[in-house]
């Protein structure tokens, strides 16, 4: 799937709310519906949680439903806190997850009452006071979301080295008109109907008293618990709490979208089977008391549908590279004032891969071509602010790739690594790729983003070294005495 096809697919999925077939999508993309193309598209939708199968829904083939199709027109219930009702506001936080496009920030959501968009107001508070409103993003990510709520917060977090500052300014929704409605005074709850999944638009209305049924709410809690447990069985741990919730809502959609629904906060307080559990350096929803299982293999590919021969080569070699990460390596070579791709390929491709650094002509030719293309407009002085930062993230990326490939060669299974070490490595790799994309391809990147990435890299390097050392010390007990142990140097290596 090339970049244009991927853009067309994403636009289709953002807008399409009715069921669709894979044949229909491939026709839209101008691709022949071969069995392989159908299988690749299905894998892409499932792995990225972009669509869900409606089994047996079509005469000749299964129909699918996009995330927009699951949530558009549906309602969820919000229970404002005493602080919010007293101040006449609503803090969106993470409470509207997973019912809107997850690329949106809470401050970008839009709310309407009786067809009129509600105004916003600023709430001055401490970060600690906001954690309860943002926890569904994962406690480890709350500071990032708070810092992104306003430019002022970005400055405050940057000045505090991305520790929590003493206070923050949070965008809140002016809810006085809703809170003064008679129905709200009786039920204390608000129905939020999704009117536009892609743009994050919600129509708010006080929950009518005749729909406020505590008994039915108890039944809803049991159905939601069952749906979440079923999602664990089918998909295992998702990439985020939000993705896990979205799949659970899809599984129980006929029963879960109801005015007597509970909030996720209420569910977590009620359930004894599901909780927020540690998963590497992150958290996930999972069964209480059960360790979240690591992934089954060391597969690191960040490409699910190759867009070119270059990405096909990365996928074939099992390397965590996309065209964007590859371009970051090329820019790094120019920052290092290298005139040819030899050193670039040596850093990027582990030498023990079959055929050595020049194992793929497609990669070698692409490196030569991209270096020449970038060199025409490259300005070393303009790149000097992010050049050293990019180099550190690429050094970490290469070290992670090399070490995980060595583990695979040594036939060490991720499940053999204690303390979720394999999960930590995978998450560090994912965060590293995300950082590189921000450095080189985020058009809205600002100084605060760079400061944040500088603040993060040292902790990521330390985490990699500690995890790698612990795994290496364990290898003799697993019968891998021949595995090469390389000591830490000034920069991460494997």
Cα dihedral 50/56/60/63 (nearest 10): -20
What SS3 state is found at 346? helix
Cα–Cα dist 302/270, whole Å? 37
Please answer whether residues 12 and 1 qualify as being in contact, where contact means their C-beta atoms are separated by less than 8 angstroms.
no
Cα–Cα dist 383/369, whole Å? 20
The set of long-range contacts for 313-316, using a CB threshold of 8 Å and a minimum separation of 24, is 313/360, 313/362, 313/363, 314/363, 316/360
Residue boundaries of the structural domains of the chain: 3-69, 75-134+166-211, 214-287, 309-478
pLDDT value at residue 479: 58
The answer for 250, left when phi > 0, alpha when psi is -120 to 50, beta otherwise, is alpha
Residue 380: other Cβ atoms inside 10 A? 11
Residue 303's pLDDT band, with cuts at 50, 70 and 90, is: low
Quote the strand ranges of 243-350, DSSP E.
274-279, 282-287
The distance of Cα 100 from the centroid of its chain, to the nearest Å, equals 14
pLDDT, tens digit (0-9, with 9 covering 90-100), for 216-226: 999 999 999 99
Residue 351's pLDDT band, with cuts at 50, 70 and 90, is: confident
Domain range 3-69, CATH class: mainly alpha
Cα–Cα dist 447/241, whole Å? 29
> Does 492 score more than 60 pLDDT?
no
> Does 358 score more than 50 pLDDT?
no
What SS3 state is found at 359? coil
Q: Tokens 């990521």 map to which residue?
A: 460
Relative orientation angle of helices 22-29 and 35-47, to the nearest 10 degrees:
100
Residue 445's pLDDT band, with cuts at 50, 70 and 90, is: confident
Which whole number is the average pLDDT over 309-319? 78
> Does 339 score more than 60 pLDDT?
yes
CA distances from 178 to 78, 173, 238 (A): 12, 11, 36
470 membership: H or E segment, kind and range: helix 447-474
Query: How large a percentage of the chain has pLDDT more than 90?
Result: 54
Residue 490's pLDDT band, with cuts at 50, 70 and 90, is: very low
> Does 291 score more than 60 pLDDT?
yes
Six-digit token pair at 72?
Answer: 């558009």
Cα–Cα dist 170/156, whole Å? 12
Which whole number is the average pLDDT over 377-389? 93
pLDDT value at residue 488: 41
> Does 370 score more than 70 pLDDT?
yes
Residue 486's pLDDT band, with cuts at 50, 70 and 90, is: very low
> Does 73 score more than 50 pLDDT?
yes
pLDDT, tens digit (0-9, with 9 covering 90-100), for 217-265: 999 999 999 999 999 999 889 889 999 999 999 999 889 999 999 999 9
Please answer whether residues 448 and 332 qualify as being in contact, where contact means their C-beta atoms are separated by less than 8 angstroms.
no
pLDDT value at residue 353: 62
Residue 408: other Cβ atoms inside 10 A? 16
pLDDT, tens digit (0-9, with 9 covering 90-100), for 12-65: 999 999 999 999 999 999 989 999 889 889 988 988 889 999 976 556 788 999
Q: For 63-72, 115-124, 146-155, 325-334, which range has the lowest pLDDT when averaged over its residues? A: 146-155
Residue 91's pLDDT band, with cuts at 50, 70 and 90, is: very high
């Amino acid at each position: 799937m090339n970049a244009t096809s991927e853009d067309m697919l994403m636009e289709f999925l953002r807008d399409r709310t009715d069921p669709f077939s894979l044949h229909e999508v491939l026709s839209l993309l101008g691709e022949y519906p071969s069995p392989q193309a159908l299988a690749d598209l299905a894998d892409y939708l499932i792995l990225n949680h972009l669509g869900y199968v409606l089994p047996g829904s079509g005469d000749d083939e299964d129909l699918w439903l996009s995330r927009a199709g699951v949530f558009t027109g549906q309602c969820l219930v919000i229970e404002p806190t005493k602080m919010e009702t007293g101040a006449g506001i609503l803090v969106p936080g993470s409470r509207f997850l997973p019912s809107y496009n997850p690329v949106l920030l809470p401050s970008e959501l839009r709310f309407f009452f009786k067809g009129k968009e509600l105004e916003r107001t600023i709430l001055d508070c401490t970060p600690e006071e906001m954690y309860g409103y943002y926890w569904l993003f994962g406690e480890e990510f709350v500071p990032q979301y708070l810092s992104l709520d306003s430019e002022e917060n970005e400055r405050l977090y940057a000045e505090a080295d991305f520790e929590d500052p003493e206070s923050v300014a949070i965008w809140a929704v002016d809810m006085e008109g809703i809170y003064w409605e008679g129905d709200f005074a009786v039920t204390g709850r608000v129905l939020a109907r999704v009117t536009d999944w892609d743009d994050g638009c919600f129509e708010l209305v006080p929950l009518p008293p005749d729909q406020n049924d505590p008994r039915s709410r108890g039944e809803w809690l049991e159905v939601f618990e069952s749906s979440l447990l079923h999602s664990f069985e089918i998909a295992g741990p998702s990439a985020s709490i939000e993705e896990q919730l979205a799949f659970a809502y899809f599984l129980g959609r006929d029963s879960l979208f109801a005015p007597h629904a509970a909030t996720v906060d209420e569910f977590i307080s009620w359930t004894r089977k599901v909780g927020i559990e540690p998963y590497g350096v992150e958290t996930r929803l999972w069964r209480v008391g059960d360790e979240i299982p690591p992934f089954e293999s060391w597969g690191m590919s960040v490409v699910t549908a190759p867009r070119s021969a270059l990405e096909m080569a990365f996928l074939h070699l099992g390397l965590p590279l996309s065209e964007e990460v590859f371009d970051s390596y090329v820019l790094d070579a120019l920052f290092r004032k290298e005139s040819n791709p030899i050193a670039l390929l040596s850093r990027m491709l582990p030498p023990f891969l079959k055929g050595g650094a020049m194992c793929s002509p497609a990669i070698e030719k692409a490196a030569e071509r991209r270096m020449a293309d970038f060199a025409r407009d490259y300005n070393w002085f303009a790149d000097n602010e992010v050049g050293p930062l990019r180099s550190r993230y690429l050094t970490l990326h290469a070290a992670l790739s090399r070490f995980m490939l060595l583990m695979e060669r040594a036939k060490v299974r991720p499940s053999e690594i204690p303390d979720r070490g394999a999960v930590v490595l995978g998450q560090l790799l994912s965060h590293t790729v995300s950082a590189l994309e921000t450095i080189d391809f985020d058009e809205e990147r600002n100084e605060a983003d760079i400061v944040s990435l500088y603040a993060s890299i040292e902790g990521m390097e330390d985490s990699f070294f500690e995890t790698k050392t612990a795994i290496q010390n364990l290898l003799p007990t697993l019968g891998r005495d021949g595995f090469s142990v390389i000591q830490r140097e000034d920069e991460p290596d494997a």
